[in-house]
Amino acid sequence: MFDLLIRGARVVDGSGRPECTVDIGVRAGRVSLMGDGHRAAAAERIDATGLILTPGLIDPHSHSDWSVLANRDALSSIHQGVTTEVVGNCGVTFAPLADPGVDAARAALASFGYDGEVTWRTFGDLLEVVHGGGTAQNLAWFVGHTALRNAAAHAESDLVTAMRWHLEEALEAGALGFSSGLRYGAGRFASSEELEVLARVAGPRGAMYASHIRNRDADLGRAVDEFFRVVRAGEVRAQLSHLNVRHDTGAADGAWHAAVSRLESERSAGWDVLADMTPYPHGIGLATGLLPDWLIASGDQAAAEALRDPAVRARVREDADRYWRFIHRGQWERVRLAVSPATPEWEGRTFPELAQLTGRDEWDVLFDICRRTGGTSERCSSSASSSPKTMSPRRSDTTCSFLVWTASPPAARAPLVGARPIRCFSTGTSTS
Ligand SMILES: [Zn+2]
């Protein structure tokens, strides 16, 4: 007697074997029959003739850890067939956390709909809070390098020693490895040497390194070099996250292909490295990623204060040629405000639309948003819209692992924060 019998489906089991039409029997939550079930008794039967049946899909680059506390059902992942997500990417996780970072974490999580307390400090504590409450999908975690750095900044020991300690704690608690986001937040101020020290912690433990690398436009080659320096230092397995090269950002012709060739040759030499890509033309990003180092260096709050000064704004306009560099080239129509708790009424609009609405130009709109939110990057994000984002081919048959994108989740089913879907539940969601 099965609890569930699914009959007549074309089964694609994920092993690489060709599909076959078999019956699937499930007992006590486990597949206990793959074969002929026509005589079998079952509490529930599903006729799946003509349909494909497959194990849950894996999304290898997700930020659902930002939103899972607010929505444990993860409907838009589950509705797309995604049952496992690799989270904690791009250096940004909400643990480890030092006391001075708690308010910012609470505010950032609130922008994803979480209104509970931030009770955890260590990475293990966060895992207990998330998994103790149950999640619809399986989650595999990286700990974020930016989080390690922010937590360590308040330690009594020197920065890198404290970062090592936090990384060891996270690995002990079950992290797959650590991720970096070297384009924004505290990650942009990290040296290669600092990353190499952490890789030497991860490598011997069989843990991984995933990196949103430092540059994917004019300096893509050098950023890939740095990635491999870290890989070699720790002899660590690694994932180069969202290897996208955006249209009109100053990347040399063929830069993406050169990066892929480099990955191929390193793999041939025995290094266990892969890359992934965002499989659709949109991507989310952190608005403060546009802002120059000199403005961000003294912290988000100070940056927000400084943006009151018209002279600072004028200088930022000149210097904000980084990250999504097409913006500095005037292509604001490619940018849409996605999440902005201070100005929720503006969410979903492009910057030219906001400029028209407010009678100010797009830069001032951005500065106003950053100033009003306190400049904290997680509270203000934007998304590149449809014009050509990438000059990379969509698929590679070589070193790119692929992200799964079936379709946008039906809006009516997407979990909502206020009036908007929680963006981070989309498959392949990527700060990019
Ligand atoms: Zn990223």
Pairing of strands 138-144, 177-181: parallel
Q: Give the model's pLDDT for residue 290.
A: 84
Ranges assigned E (strand) in 72-163:
82-87, 138-144
- Give 7 Cα–ligand 1 centroid separation in angstroms: 41
Quick one: DSSP state of residue 21?
Answer: E
Q: Give the model's pLDDT for residue 247.
A: 76
- Give 431 Cα–ligand 1 centroid separation in angstroms: 4
Q: Parse the chain into domains and list their residue ranges.
A: 2-53, 57-281+393-425, 285-384
- Give 289 Cα–ligand 1 centroid separation in angstroms: 11
Q: Give the model's pLDDT for residue 394.
A: 37
Please state the pTM of the whole predicted model: 0.83
- Calculate Rg over the CA atoms of the chain: 23
- Give 397 Cα–ligand 1 centroid separation in angstroms: 22
Q: Give the model's pLDDT for residue 52.
A: 93
- Give 249 Cα–ligand 1 centroid separation in angstroms: 17
Residues surrounding ion ligand 1 at CB below 5 Å: 90, 212, 431
> pLDDT 10s digit of each residue in the chain, 432 long?
999 999 999 999 888 899 999 999 999 989 999 999 889 999 999 999 999 999 888 888 888 898 899 889 888 788 888 899 999 999 999 999 999 999 889 888 887 788 899 999 999 999 999 999 999 999 999 999 999 999 999 888 899 999 999 999 999 999 999 999 998 888 999 999 999 999 999 999 999 999 999 998 899 999 999 999 999 999 999 999 988 887 778 888 889 889 999 999 999 999 999 998 876 666 667 777 888 989 988 887 888 889 999 999 999 999 988 888 888 888 888 788 877 777 878 887 888 999 999 999 999 998 988 888 775 544 444 444 333 344 444 332 222 222 222 223 333 333 333 333 333 444 444 444
Q: How far apart are CA 181 and CA 370, in angstroms?
A: 20
CATH code, 2-53: 2.30.40.10
Q: Give the model's pLDDT for residue 420.
A: 38
Pair 123, 71: CB distance under 8 Å: no
Pair 125, 95: CB distance under 8 Å: yes
Q: Give the model's pLDDT for residue 281.
A: 60
- Give 213 Cα–ligand 1 centroid separation in angstroms: 8
Q: How far apart are CA 6 and CA 18, in angstroms?
A: 19
| The two three-digit tokens of residue 332, written as one number | 């604001």
Q: How far apart are CA 236 and CA 231, in angstroms?
A: 5
- Give 215 Cα–ligand 1 centroid separation in angstroms: 11
CATH code, 57-281+393-425: 3.20.20.140
- Give 169 Cα–ligand 1 centroid separation in angstroms: 23
- Give 243 Cα–ligand 1 centroid separation in angstroms: 9
- Give 432 Cα–ligand 1 centroid separation in angstroms: 5
Closest alpha carbon to 115 in 59, 71, 79? 71
- Give 1 Cα–ligand 1 centroid separation in angstroms: 48
Q: Give the model's pLDDT for residue 375.
A: 54
- Quick one: 31 exposed, middle or buried, by C-beta within 10 A (0-12, 13-18, 19+)? middle
Separation of first and last alpha carbons in the chain: 49
